[in-house]
C-alpha cells in the first residue's frame, strides 16, 4: 500500500481534507472521539519549544491526541507531506506519507498506538477490546469515511495499514523524520519491532 494506491476519491479532497477533520461533525466524532486525533482548533496546536526535525526541515503540528501528543507535517507543502507522531513520552516516528494515508490508518486501526511489538494474536485482542469499548465503531467509521468522500468498502485491511507503519519506521522515511526533543536528544523510534 502506498500513496499511489490511494482510492481516487481521497484525492478529490486534496487540500481540503484537513479542514474536514476539524469541521465536519461526523468526522470530528470519529477522529477526535474514537481515533484520538483532534484537528478542531489548529491555532491551539503548538509543539514544545525546541522540538524539531534533526534534518532542519519544517515540523508543523496540525492535530493533537488527548494526551497532548502531536500529529505533525514534515517539510513544506499541503496534505501530501509525510506525517510524524511526536509523543510526550519521548517517542516519535512517521505514520503516513500524506494525510489521506493517515486518515485510512485511523479509520481502519484507530488503536494503532498499541501495535508496536505485538503478535498477531495480541493485535486481534486489542482490536476486539477496542470494539467492545466502542460497540458502534463500524457505524461511526463508515459515517466518517463517507463524509470524507471515501467508500468504507474500499478501505485497506488492518494488516495492510499495520504493515505500512512498520515499513515507514525503517529506511529513508524514518531517517528523514528523526525528531529532536526540547533537551536536544533524538526521540526514541515510535515503532521498533514488527508485529507478526
- pLDDT value of position 119: 72
Which H or E element spans position 147?
helix 137-147
Q: Read off φ and ψ for residue 126, nearest 5 degrees.
A: -65, -45
Contact (Cβ atoms closer than 8 angstroms) between residue 65 and residue 38: yes
Per-residue pLDDT of the chain (196 residues; tens, 9 = 90+): 333 333 334 433 345 788 989 888 999 999 999 999 999 986 676 788 889 999 999 999 999 999 899 999 999 999 999 999 999 989 999 999 999 999 999 999 999 988 766 777 788 888 888 889 989 999 999 999 999 999 999 999 988 998 898 889 888 999 999 999 988 999 999 876 544 4
For residue 37 the three cell numbers come to 486525533
What is the sign, positive or negative, of the torsion defined by CA atoms of 51, 53, 59, 63?
negative
- pLDDT value of position 48: 82
Angle at 63 between CA 79 and CA 52, to 5 degrees: 85
- pLDDT value of position 15: 55
Q: From start to end of the chain, where are the E strands?
A: 52-53, 59-64, 70-74, 82-86, 91-97, 179-180, 188-189
Query: What's 63-114 look like in SS3?
Result: EECCCCCEEEEECCCCCCCEEEEECCCCEEEEEEECHHHHHHHHHHCCCHHH
DSSP conformational letter for 38: B
Amino acid at each position: 500500500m502506498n500513496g499511489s494506491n490511494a482510492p481516487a476519491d481521497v484525492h478529490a479532497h486534496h487540500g481540503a481534507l484537513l479542514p474536514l477533520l476539524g469541521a465536519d461533525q461526523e468526522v470530528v466524532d470519529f477522529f477526535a472521539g474514537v481515533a484520538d486525533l483532534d484537528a478542531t482548533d489548529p491555532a491551539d496546536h503548538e509543539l514544545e519549544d525546541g522540538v524539531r526535525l534533526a534534518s532542519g526541515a519544517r515540523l508543523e503540528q496540525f492535530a493533537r491526541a488527548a494526551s497532548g501528543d502531536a500529529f505533525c507535517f514534515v517539510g513544506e507543502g499541503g496534505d501530501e507531506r509525510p506525517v510524524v507522531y511526536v509523543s510526550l513520552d519521548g517517542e516519535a516516528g512517521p505514520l503516513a506519507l500524506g494525510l489521506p494515508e493517515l486518515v485510512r490508518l485511523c479509520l481502519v486501526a484507530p488503536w494503532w498506538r498499541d501495535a508496536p511489538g505485538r503478535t498477531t494474536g495480541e493485535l486481534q485482542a486489542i482490536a476486539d477490546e477496542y470494539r467492545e469499548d466502542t460497540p458502534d465503531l463500524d457505524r461511526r467509521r463508515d459515517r466518517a469515511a463517507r463524509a470524507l468522500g471515501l467508500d468504507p468498502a474500499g478501505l485497506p485491511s488492518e494488516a495492510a495499514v499495520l504493515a505500512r507503519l512498520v515499513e515507514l519506521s525503517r529506511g529513508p522515511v524514518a531517517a528523514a523524520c528523526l525528531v529532536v526533543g526540547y533537551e536536544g536528544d533524538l526521540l526514541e523510534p515510535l515503532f521498533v519491532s514488527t508485529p507478526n
